[in-house]
Amino acid sequence: MSVRALRMAYLALGLLMLVLAFIGALLPLMPTTIFLILAVGCFARSSPRLEAWILDHPRFGPTVRAWREEGAIPMAAKIMAVSGMIIGYAVFFFSVRPGPVLGVAVAAVILACGIYVGSRPLPQSRSGD
């Protein structure tokens, strides 16, 4: 694959991630930040202008920068993420009524994700930010 084609593929994937992030900003149980993080990764390889646009965004930029620079998640985002996981599992459990194996398997995956989110450090406070 040529460099140009690879760059266009990253741009298309980044735009898809941006669309998914926008949908996530509107829908309560769909995440936003993870798609922005993925979009920034794609734009870093295809469009520095779009990468800078997300990183400089007044609402989402600080969270994406904290992840990129420190692997950190702000406390409010941790609470929202884990709350969304709990609500999502409750909706799944009560609407699908899974069997014991599926119910435990899905709970285990969500628990692992919740532990991962909870284990990430908090962003370091920066003067001037």
Q: In the chain, what are the domain boundaries?
A: 1-71, 72-129
| Token pair of 65 as six digits | 């920068």
State percent of the chain over pLDDT 90: 81
Range from 3-7, 30-34, 56-60, 91-95 carrying the lowest mean pLDDT: 30-34
- The pLDDT value recorded for residue 129 is 45
Q: Which residues lie below 8 Å from residue 32, measured CB to CB, with a gap of 6+?
A: 21, 24, 25, 60
pLDDT score of 7 more than 90: yes
- Rounded to a whole number of angstroms, the distance between the first and last alpha carbons of the chain is 41
Residue 28 pLDDT greater than 80, yes or no:
no
Pairwise CA distance, residues 109 & 61, whole Å: 28
- Share the mean pLDDT of the chain: 92
Q: What is the CA radius of gyration of the chain?
A: 17
pLDDT band at 128 (very low <50, low <70, confident <90, very high): very low
CB of 110 within 8 A of CB of 85?
Answer: yes
